Structure 1
Amino acid sequence: MKRSDKNKLPQANKLFTDREEPKKVFWNTYQIFKENIRNSQENEIKVITYYGIGGIGKSSLLKQIRRELHESIEKPLYISIDFAENTDMLSILIKMRNLLQNAYGFNFPMFDLAYYSYMEKQGYQVKKEEIQSFVSSSPILESILEFSSVLPGVGSLIAILKGIDGLSAVIRNNLDNRKRELNEIKNDEPDILIKNMPYYLACDIENNLDRQDEPLIIFLDTYESLVNELTSIGNPMDKDLWLRDEKRGLIVNIPNTIWIIAGRDKLKWEQINPDWEGSLDQHLLGSLSERDAETFLHEAGISDQTLIKEIYQLTGGVPLYLDICVDRYYSIVEKGNTPSIEDMGSNTYELISRFVKYMDDSKKALVYILSCLEDWTDDLLNGLVQKFLPALPFTTIANIKNFSFVMTENDKTYKMHQLVRNIVYSDCDKDVASKINSYVKDYYYKILTDGFI
C-alpha cells in the first residue's frame, strides 16, 4: 500500500486551529481597537494569551491568525518574536526595531541613540562590524557621525542634534519632545541605560503609530523560554520585567497595540501587580477530544479501530503527536509492514525518537542536521547538503518540508518544532553538531560582510 500525497492528508494541527473560538477572541479585540483608532479614542492595554502543553497547536494558531490578517486587512501591521530562538532582552529589542523598520519604514531615533550611547560607554569599538551594521541602518546615527566626530555619549547631544540639517522634520520634532530622555541617554550609567532600552523603543514605536490607522499586533511565541524557571541565571520572576514593568516596560508604553502571547503556562502578572487583571485575556488550549482525534485518524487513512484508540491513549490528543503518529504509520506501511502501537513507542519521547530512528539513513542524517538549526532557508540548507551530504537526492530535501514537525510561514524560512528539535538534537552526534554550527556561523558572517543584509 503506497502512501497517498501527504499534502492531501489532514493534519491535526490544522484541524485544531480551524476551531473558531481562539481566533474570535483576537478578531473581536482587533475590531474594537480599529474602531477606537478611527474615532481617536484611547485603547486600553490588551494582552491575549493562548497557553497549553507543548504540541497543542499554539504556534499553529498564531500562524493562522497572521494568515487571516493578510486575507482580511489590506496592510496589516504586525511583527513576530519567538523566544525559542533568543531570550536576550537587547537582542530581542533590536530584532523588533529591525522588523518594524524593514517592513513598515518606522524610524527609531531614541532607541538608536540610546543603543549607540550604551555601546560607547561600555567601551565597544565603533568600527566593530555589528556596530557599523547598526549605524548604517540608522539615519540619525549616520547623520551624527557625518556632522561631528563627537560620539553620542560625549558633549551636548541635544546641541549636536539641532545642528544636523539632514534630520527629517518628523525625527527632529520627536526629539524636541523628548529632551528629558535625551539627557538620560547622555548622563545615565550603562547599567541604568540598558534597563531603559525597552522604554526608548516604546517611545519610538508610539511616535510611528501616530501615523497609522491600524493597530499594531505583536506576537510573542514560546514564552516559557523567556521565563524558564529551571535556568540558574537570574530570578524567573524578573526575566520578563522589561515587558511588563508598570512604569518603563515595553507593553504599558506602546499605545494601540494588541499583544498575543503563546506559552505553556498562564501568565501570573496580576499576582505580582493587581493592575494587570483587567488587561489579561487568557485562554487555555486543550487537546483534541477522543472523538475529534478518531475522526482525524480515520480521515488520515487509519482504519484499525484498536490502533486508533491506542494512538489516542499514547498522544493524549495532542495535535503534534497525532501528526507524527500518522507520519510513522505510513513509514511502516511503505515498508510492507502492518503498524502496531509497539512501533510507535510507549511514550511521546519514544514516539519522536523512533520516528527518526527508523528513517532511511540519508533522511535521518538530514533531520539531525536540521535539529542543529534555529531555522533555515533553501539557500542555507542547499549549502549544508553540498558540504555534508553531497549524495543526498533532491527529492529527500523536498520531502523533509512535508513532515508535520517542519513549520513555515512564508515558504522561505523553515524551522523544526521545538519539542521535536530538542529530542532529535539530544541524539545528534556532538562533533556533527559542532561542524554544523561552525558552517552556519561562517555562512551568516559572509552574508553580513558581503552587505546582503
Structure 2
Amino acid sequence: MAIKPKFTLQNYKTPASRQFTDREEFVDAFINAIGKEEEQYKVLTYYGIGGIGKTSLRKKLGEILKNEYPNHVWAAIDFEVPNFRDIHNALFVLRKHFRTQYQIRFPLFELAYSIYWSKVNPNVSVNKDSLPFLEEGGLVADLVSTIGDIPVVGIAPKILTLAMKSKEIAPKYLNKVMKTELIKLEQYEPNEIMQRLPMYFAADLKEYKPEKSQVVIFFDTYEALWGKSRTEGNAFTQDEWVREFIAQLPEVLWVICGREKLRWEELDSDWGDVLEQHLIGQLSDNDIRIFLESCGITDNKIQKNIMQSSLGVPYYLDICVDTYEEIMGKFGRKPLESDFGKSPKEVFERFIKYLDQSEIETLKLLAFPRFFDYELFKSLVMNFNTGFPLTAFDSLCRFSFIQEVQPGKMDMHELMRTSLMEHQRDDIVQGTHTIIFHFYDQLLQGTSERELSSQGVTTLSEALHHHIQFASVEDVSNWFEEATKVFYQYKQWHYIVPIYEEFIKHITENSNDSLLLAHHLTNLAGIYNDLWQFGRSESMLINAKDIYEKLLGSDHIDLVKTLSRLAVVYFIKGIKMDQAESLLFQALDIQIKNFGEHSPELAVTYTSLGKLYRIKNLDEKSELYYMNALKIRIEHLGETDVRTAYSYNNLGWIQLKRKKFEEAETNFKKSIEIREKLLNRKHRDLAIPINNLGRCYHKQGKLNFAEELYLEALKIKENKFGEDHPSIAASYHDLGRLYFQQEQFDLSRHYYEEALRIREGYLGEVHPGVGTILIDMAELEMTLGNRDKALELYQNAKRISETTIGMPVDSITRLNKGLNS
C-alpha cells in the first residue's frame, strides 16, 4: 500500500513525540548531504533512546523535501510495522510509493517479485487479488493477461516477446539487463531471487527515475528489524539486505533512524567513509517551552518542573501534557506544580494518579497485546470486568501514547507498555495472555480459505505469541498442529513457514525435548519439500534423523516420516540415488516390523519406491511397488478415495511404459472414474489421467479416441495454466505425433513447433525432452522430402544425446536410423 500516515490527528493536539521543534544541526547535516555528488555513497544515521524524537525528525526532513526540494524523489519505510521487515515486503512498498508518487516504472523488479511470489506460493494463482500491482498495468500485467498466470519455468521467450512490444521497457534497457536476467530468474531458487531483489529494484530505479533528481530513502525504527531476538550472533545478519541495497544504489541518500549507532565498520572499514552518525539527545529548554505553550501550559513554574522531570524526552513530555489535560478535564481546576513528578518514573505515577480506576485497569490489560482493535478491547474489558464503558473506546485512544498503526489497529508506546507491565500481578499476567490467546484461537477457527493469507496468518502468529507466554511447550505443540490444519486443508501451508520457524526457535530455547524438536523439524521440512525448497529441508531432515537415531535407535517408528522425506529430497534432486533407496527400505522395514505387511502406512513408502525405480528406469521394480501401494489403498481406503485414484494412475503409467496396454487402459479409466465422482470432469486433477489414457489409445493405434482425449486434457490444462505452461508442451508433442500418423503434416508441424518453443523456454536448447521433439520433427521433414532440413534436425538431436543423459532408448534408435538413411 502507499506510504502515508496511518492515522490523523485532526481532533487532538500534536504531541511532542509527533512534532519537531528546532534541532538545526540535524537538519543542516541532512541538507548538506542532499548536495553530495552523484555515485558517492552517503548514509546519515540519527540514533538515540526511545521517545527522543527520531521519528519526528524523520517526518520533518520529509516535509523539507516536499516543500523545498519538490523535484527530489523520496520514500520512507518504518520497521515498526512487522511486515516491512522482510526484504521482499519492504521493496514492494517502496516500489508502490515510487510508482504512485513519481510514475517510476519497475518492470524487472515486478517480474522478479512475481516469479519469487509464484515459487513460494505454487498453489495460488497470480491475479489482481494476490498481486495488486497488476491493476496498474505494465509488463507483468500483460504477461498474466496473455497466458493467465506467471509460470516459474518457460517464461523467458514469452516475456521477451512482450517486452519488445511494450512501451514499459526501453530497448537499450532490455538489451543490457532484461535478457540475461530472465534466463537466470528461471533457474534461481526463491531464496536466491529474494537476495537479488535489491539488485533488480536498483536497476529499475537507475533507469527510470526522473533526470537530475536526488533520491532519498528513509529507514525508521531500525532496531525493529531484530524484533526481540537481537543477539551478538545476529547483529549483522538481519540487516544484511539493507547494506546490499545501499551498495546497489550509491546515488541515493540514505537516512536511518534507530536507537543504536551502526557498527558496520566492524564488517568493513570502508563503511567508515560512508556513515555520518548523529546522536539525538534531549530537547532544548527552548524547544520544550515552545511545545508546552502550544499545548496551553504557560505557567513558568510548571514548565520548569516538566523540563526537569521529562529529561527533555518527548514521550515523557507528552505524558505530562496528558496529565495536565486530565486534571483540567476531570477536576475542573488549574494544575499545580506539585501535580507533576520530578523524574520520569514519577511522571508516569502522577499520570496514573489522575486516571479513573477503570481506565487504569483497562490500559494495563491493553499493554499485553502487540496491537489491539475494538473487538480485543471489548473481550478484555468484559472478561476482567474493568468497568470501562465499551462505548468509550475512542476516548481511551485519545492518549498520546496510543497510535493507530493500521486502520482499526492501535499500538501502545513501548515505554508506556513497559511502565504498565511493571505493575502487573503474576496471576493477571497469565490470565490476560490466556484470554488473548483464546480470542485469537477462536478467530482462527472461523477463518475462511480466502482470509488465510491475510487475517489467518496474523491470527495464528498472535495466538502463538500469547500461548507460549503461559503454556508448556508440549501443550503449545499440540495446539499448533491442530491450529495449522486449516492451512494444510486448503494447501496454503506456505503461509505458516515463518510462524513455524518461530515456534521451532521457541522449542530450541525453552525445551530439552529433542524428540519434539525432531518431530517439528520433519514437519517443517515436509512443507519445504512441497515448495520444492529442498536445500532448506535437507539440513532439517538430517538433523531430525540424527536426533531420532541417537535417542531412539535406527528402527523406531517415529523415524519413518523423516527417512521418507529425506529420500524424496535425494531422488527428486537426482542425487544420492542409492542412499535414497536405502532410506526408503529402512523406513519400509520399520513399518513392517511395527504394523505388519498390509498396513495402510506402507502405501506412501511403496509409492516413493515406485517413483524412485521409475526414475532409475527399473520398470519392473517400479510396477511391483506401485502395485503394492494400490492393493493396500484398495484394502484400507476402498475404491472411492482420491489416493486410490492416484495409485491407479501411477500403476497405469508404468504399465504403459512397459507396453501393457490393456492393463494400463483399465487403470487409467479407474483413476478417471474415481476422480470424476469426487471432483468433476473439468477439474485440473483429471488432466493427467485423461491425457495418459489418450497416450494408451495412441500406442494401440486408436487414433480417433486418442485425439479426443488429448484435446480434452489440453483444454483442461489451458483453462488452468494458460497457453505456455510446461504441461502444455507435453500435450502439443502428443498431438504432433498423432497428426503425423494421420498424415496431417501441417497440423503435426504446428504442434511440434509449439511444443519445441515451450520446452526450449523452460528446459533450454540442450535437454533430452527437446531432443525427442527434434527427432520427431526430423522424421516429419524426411517424410515430406526435406532431407537437408531433416539432417540438420537429426544433427541437433545427436549433439543433445551426446551431451545429456535421459533420452529414451527408442528415440536414440530412431535417431541413428535417420542419420544413416
Normalised by the length of structure 2, the TM-score is 0.43
In the TM superposition, residue 170 of structure 1 has moved relative to its aligned partner by 4.1
- Residue 326 of structure 1 corresponds to 321
* Match runs of 1:20-59 below 5 Å: 20-30=24-34, 32=35, 42-59=38-55
| Residue among 384, 392, 397 paired with 2:394 | 397
Which residue of structure 2 aligns with residue 419 of structure 1?
A: 414
**Which stretch of structure 1 is more off in the superposition, 281-290 or 158-167?**
158-167
TM-aligned CA distance change 1:425 to 1:195, over 3 Å: farther
- Give the Cα separation in 1 of the matches to 2:441 and 2:26: 38
Match of 1:96 among 87, 94, 100: 94
Q: Which residue of 1 aligns with 2:187?
A: 187
Which aligned pairs between 1:102-121 and structure 2 lie closer than 5 A? 102-121=100-119
The SS at the match of 1:277 is helix
The residue number in structure 2 matching 1:153 is 152
* Aligned residue among 348, 352, 372 for 1:351: 348
Residues 229, 432 of structure 1: alpha-carbon distance in 2 compared, 3 angstrom cutoff: closer
Higher helix share: 2
- In the superposition, relative to structure 1, how do residues 144 and 301 fare at CA in structure 2: closer, same or farther (>3 Å)? closer
Q: Report what 2:58 is aligned to.
A: 62
* Bigger RCO (CA 8 Å, 6+ sep): 1
Once the two structures are superposed, what CA deviation does each residue of 1:336-390 show, in whole Å capped at 9, x if it has no partner? 3655667659644971894498158579859977996869xxxx98x99999999
Q: CA deviation at 1:319?
A: 1.9
Within the candidate set 81, 84, 97, 1:85 is matched to: 81
Count of aligned positions = 421
2:271 maps to which residue?
276
Q: Which amino acid aligns with 1:205?
A: L
Match of 2:134 in 1: 136
Task: Tell me by how many angstroms 1:149 deviates.
Answer: 6.1
Name stretches of at least 5 consecutive residues in structure 2 with no aligned partner.
1-9, 382-387, 456-821
* Alpha-carbon distance in structure 1 between the residues aligned to 2:185 and 2:354: 55
d(CA) in 2 for partners of 1:101 and 1:223? Answer: 24
- SS of the residue corresponding to residue 250 of structure 1 reads helix
| Shift in alpha-carbon separation, 1:367–1:254, aligned structure 2, 3 A | farther
1:357 to 1:177, Cα distance in 2 relative to 1, 3 A: farther
The verdict on how the C-alpha distance between 1:197 and 1:221 changes in structure 2, with shifts beyond 3 A counting, is same
Alignment of 1:240-251 (within 5 A): 240-244=239-243, 249-251=244-246
Cα offset for 1:287? Answer: 0.3
Cα 1:349–1:187 shift into 2, 3 Å: farther
Q: Provide closer, same or farther for how the CA distance between residues 434 and 290 of structure 1 changes in structure 2, counting only shifts above 3 A.
A: farther
Do the aligned partners of 2:126 and 2:149 also contact (CA within 8 Å) in 1?
no
| SS of the residue 1:80 aligns to | strand
* Alpha-carbon spacing, 1:111–1:309, altered in 2? closer, same or farther (3 Å): same
The corresponding residue for 2:238 is 239
1:200 aligns with 2:200: yes
Would you say the 8 A contact 1:227–1:237 is kept in 2?
no
Residue segments in structure 1 that go unaligned for 5+ positions in a row: 1-5, 37-41
Return the letter of the residue paired with 1:190. Answer: P
**Residues 382-436 of structure 1: CA deviation (Å, up to 9, x unaligned):** x999999997678x838955x4445699xx9997564356448857955368759
1:171 matched to 2:166: no
> One-letter code of the match for 2:299?
S
Task: Quote how far apart the aligned CAs of 1:200 are.
Answer: 1.7
CA contact under 8 A between 2:369 and 2:436: conserved in structure 1?
no
Q: Does structure 1 conserve the Cα–Cα contact (< 8 Å) formed by 2:340 and 2:347?
A: no
Taking the aligned partners of 2:410 and 2:28, their CA distance within structure 1 comes to: 27
Cα drift, residue 238 of structure 1: 1.0
Q: Secondary structure at the match of 2:109?
A: helix
Once the two structures are TM-superposed, the CA of residue 278 in structure 1 deviates from its matched residue by: 2.0
| 1:214 aligned counterpart, secondary structure | coil
Alignment partner of 2:131: what SS? helix
The answer as to whether partners of 2:53 and 2:314 remain within 8 angstroms in 1 is: yes
Deviations 1:279-303 (Å, cap 9, x if unpaired)? 2221111102457646755775263
Change (3 A) 1:14 1:362: closer
Measure how far apart 1:445 and its partner are.
5.6
- Residues of 1 paired with 2:394 and 2:163: CA distance? 53
Residues 91 and 278 from structure 1, CA distance in 2 versus in 1: closer, same or farther, beyond 3 angstroms? same
**7 and 133 in structure 1: CA distance in 2 versus 1, 3 angstrom threshold:** closer
- In structure 2, the CA distance between the partners of 1:333 and 1:8, relative to structure 1 (3 Å rule), is same
Query: Corresponding residue for 1:225?
Result: 224
Tell which deviates more after alignment, 117-126 or 95-104: 117-126
Q: CA deviation at 1:59?
A: 0.6
Distance 1:320 1:158 in 2: 54
Q: Which amino acid aligns with 2:266?
A: Q
Tell me the distance in 2 between the aligned counterparts of 1:10 and 1:417.
17
Give the corresponding residue for 2:21. Answer: 17
Q: Which stretch of structure 1 is more off in the superposition, 91-100 or 331-340?
A: 331-340
In 1, Cα distance between equivalents of 2:19 and 2:142: 52
Q: Distance in 2 between matches of 1:78 and 1:437?
A: 41
The amino acid of 1:279's aligned partner reads V
- Offset, 1:226: 1.3
Answer whether contact 1:48 1:282 (CA < 8 A) is retained.
yes
**How far, CA to CA, are the matches of 1:339 and 1:297 in structure 2?**
15
Inter-CA distance 135–216: structure 2 relative to 1 (3 Å threshold):
closer
Tell me if the contact between 1:144 and 1:161 (Cα under 8 Å) persists in the aligned partners.
yes
Q: What is residue 254 of structure 2 aligned with on the other side?
A: 259
1-side partners of 2:14 and 2:189: how far apart? Answer: 56
TM-score, normalised to structure 1's length?
0.74
Distance 1:393 1:67 in 2: 37
After superposition, the CA RMSD in angstroms is: 4.7
Q: Report the secondary structure of 1:260's partner residue.
A: strand
Instruction: Describe the SS at the equivalent of 1:69.
Output: helix
- What do the CA deviations read for 1:225-268 (whole angstroms, capped 9, x no partner)? 11457447971211111111xxxx11121253211111111111
Does the CA contact (< 8 Å) of 1:143 and 1:166 recur in 2?
no
Tell me the alpha carbon deviations over residues 61-101 of structure 1, each in whole angstroms, 9 at most, x when there is no partner.
11112222222244552211111112222221222222222
Superposed displacement of residue 222, structure 1: 0.4
**Inter-CA distance 193–165: structure 2 relative to 1 (3 Å threshold):** closer
| 1:263 counterpart letter in structure 2 | G
Structure 2 residue matching 1:162: 3-state secondary structure: helix
* Equivalent residue, structure 1, for 2:681: none
Give 1:159 shift. 1.7
2:199 partner amino acid = Y
Tell me the amino acid that sits aligned with residue 101 of structure 1. Answer: R
**Cα distance in structure 1, aligned partners of 2:318 and 2:186:** 55
**Structure 1 residues 184-193 or 283-292, which shifts more?**
283-292
- Distance between the aligned counterparts of 1:93 and 1:372, measured in 2? 28
Question: Which stretch shifts more, 188-197 or 169-178?
Answer: 169-178
Cα distance, 1:339–1:433 mapped onto 2, change above 3 Å: farther
Looking at structure 2, the residues matched to 22 and 438 of structure 1 have their Cα atoms a distance apart, in angstroms, of 49
- Cα distance in 1, alignment partners of residues 275 and 289 from structure 2: 34
Could you say what secondary structure the match of 1:258 adopts?
strand
* Higher radius of gyration, 1 or 2: 2
Q: CA deviation at 1:325?
A: 0.9
